[in-house]
Amino acid sequence: MIRRILTEGIDEFDMTRLDVYRSRGGYQALAKALRTMSPDDVADEVKTSGLRGRGGAGVAASFKWSTLPADGRPRYLILNGDESEPGSFSGRMLIQKNPHMIIEGALLSAYACRMARVFIYLRGEFYEGAEIMRRAVEEARAAGFIGERILGTDFSQEVVVHRGAGAYICGEETAIMESLEGKRGHPRTKPPFPTAAGLYGMPTVINNVETIANVAPIVANGGAWFAAIGPEKSPGTKVCSVSGRVRRPGNYEIEMGTPLRELIEEHAGGLEPGHELKFILPAGASSALIQPKNLDVSLDYDSLGAIRSMLGSAGMLVCDERDCAVHVAYLGARFYHHESCGKCTPCREGTGWTERVLHRMEHGLGRSGDTRRLEELCRGIGGRKCLCLLGDFSVTYLQSALANFHDEFEAHEHGGPCPVTAALEVSVR
Ligand SMILES: Cc1cc2nc3c(=O)[nH]c(=O)nc-3n(C[C@H](O)[C@H](O)[C@H](O)COP(=O)(O)O)c2cc1C
Ligand code: SF4
């Protein structure tokens, strides 16, 4: 079911303007918190809400916040707006159309966690989004919502907008910190975890922009209100990006627990007439694919985990019978090889080999045993052998494609044009 919390009004009004955002109740949650609530009260509301991180793993926001050490060192909050997952574009929409909700959420989170500074880290390619966000920050500052003694209280806060240089790896939480420190965006070893020693060695929380955008409505309406929306363990809404073979691709904010079938068939308009669903990659290129038999799965963290896939960033790539599994796998392999930072051998070398094998299969030069070679490569890269999860992401979708469409891969071992699309062309004629 469509449920608009983060996207309410964004199609009708120019919510990038401070006066419009305020006329629709914007910054009232901040005023309420600063005037009537302590930082712990705000943190308690977020805990009651059950809000889970929208950046991928679904870690409870309150859990992450609670692991900050109380040792007097400055703490930092980083909003992750890197959003480089193929097929994910929900963060971009929120950044471009509702920047003040993100800023208000950031200020509330910074108040709750007693942060010294907020950094909004945006993907390098989000030039327009960064301009919109910078303008929104300046408008909020001029109105007294950012800076010294906000709304005449003792609370002061600065917000810095930073644009990366365009690398998928800079969405990884430790690579973001390296990038913000002016270094090459390479992941760090963990532990120490960011809450213990993060940006500039200080305790740091990294949350996705959508996670933080939820904090203003939670404080405005109460944590219990939010907790009552959707399944008990995955409350709230999720903005899902749907693309590929659907009639109405776009972003849809749904209540958690909505069946995947409803999202695809009703909201995204279903597949083009005469075509059949083949599979869906629910979290862009980093997730195991979902088969048509699982189309009634509930869209929440636990239900997708139960069918060995994941909700992740909810960038849904929809494929029909015209999409060859080898072709999709090749596109994924090309992406991961290009985005591997090169620090760990299994990821650096493995993604290169995977791309090479799939390149020849895709281009009619497949060799006998290539399917088995791909399976061996996946075993060599996956299983937490690398410093960050990119290595595992690069094999998750591929292993599920190999398991579900083994015949298609084997058919590409013998060279010549793609046997899947060739067979379709014959049947169409
Ligand atoms: C390779 C890689 C890329 C990632 N990209 C993003 C991203 O673009 N945005 C994001 O929020 N999280 C991304 N993550 C997850 C972050 O490391 C982190 O878990 C997340 O920002 C935490 O926010 P949340 O708790 O609000 O979900 C990525 C992780 C990996 C391993
Ligand atoms: S897994 Fe890949 S992207 Fe991650 S640190 Fe290692 S080489 Fe870099």
The answer to the question of residue 7 being in a domain is: no
Q: Which candidate, 266, 251, 317, 258, places its Cα nearest to that of 288?
A: 317
Q: What percent of the chain has pLDDT over 70?
A: 99
Average pLDDT over residues 290-295: 96
Under DSSP, the state recorded for 316 is E
Model confidence pTM above 0.85: yes
Cis-peptide, bond into residue 259, ω within 30° of zero:
no
The rounded distance, in Å, linking the Cα atoms of 302 and 299 is 9
Out of 270, 300, 320, a domain closes at: 320
Whether 60 is in the pocket of ligand 1, judged by its Cβ within 6 Å, is: no
Instruction: Indicate if 51 and 192 belong to the same structural domain.
Output: yes
Q: Band of the pLDDT at 350, cuts 50, 70, 90?
A: very high
Instruction: Indicate if 357 and 299 belong to the same structural domain.
Output: no
Whether 386 is in the pocket of ligand 2, judged by its Cβ within 6 Å, is: yes
Instruction: Indicate if 58 and 207 belong to the same structural domain.
Output: yes
Note the pLDDT tens digit of each residue in 297-321: 999 999 999 999 999 999 999 999 9
Whether 361 is in the pocket of ligand 1, judged by its Cβ within 6 Å, is: no
The answer to the question of residue 256 being in a domain is: yes
Q: Band of the pLDDT at 425, cuts 50, 70, 90?
A: low
Instruction: Indicate if 375 and 306 belong to the same structural domain.
Output: no
Instruction: Indicate if 27 and 53 belong to the same structural domain.
Output: yes
The answer to the question of residue 2 being in a domain is: no
The answer to the question of residue 306 being in a domain is: yes
The rounded distance, in Å, linking the Cα atoms of 249 and 240 is 10
Instruction: Indicate if 113 and 212 belong to the same structural domain.
Output: yes
Which 3 state secondary structure label does DSSP give 416?
coil
Please state the atom number of ligand 2 nearest to the C-alpha of residue 339.
Answer: 3
CA of 75 to the centre of ligand 1 (A): 19
Whether 59 is in the pocket of ligand 1, judged by its Cβ within 6 Å, is: yes
The answer to the question of residue 11 being in a domain is: no
The answer to the question of residue 95 being in a domain is: yes
Q: Tell which one of 85, 179, 343 to mutate to probe ligand 2, the residue whose CB is within 8 A of the most ligand atoms.
A: 343
Can you give the CATH number for the domain in which 396 is found? 1.20.1440.230
Can you give the CATH number for the domain in which 136 is found? 3.40.50.11540
Note the pLDDT tens digit of each residue in 12-41: 999 999 999 999 999 999 999 999 999 999
Instruction: Indicate if 94 and 47 belong to the same structural domain.
Output: yes
Task: Please tell me the predicted confidence (pLDDT) of residue 345.
Answer: 96
The rounded distance, in Å, linking the Cα atoms of 85 and 169 is 10
The answer to the question of residue 8 being in a domain is: no
Note the pLDDT tens digit of each residue in 372-384: 999 999 999 999 9
Q: Assess whether pLDDT exceeds 60 at residue 250.
A: yes
Which-ligand-closest: CA of 195? 1
Which-ligand-closest: CA of 341? 2
Domain count, the chain: 3
Instruction: Indicate if 43 and 184 belong to the same structural domain.
Output: yes
Out of 227, 260, 289, a domain closes at: 227
Instruction: Indicate if 70 and 95 belong to the same structural domain.
Output: yes
The answer to the question of residue 130 being in a domain is: yes
Which-ligand-closest: CA of 166? 1
Q: Which domain holds residue 95?
A: 18-227
CA of 56 to the centre of ligand 1 (A): 6
Instruction: Indicate if 56 and 178 belong to the same structural domain.
Output: yes
CA of 53 to the centre of ligand 1 (A): 9
Out of 285, 320, 355, a domain closes at: 320
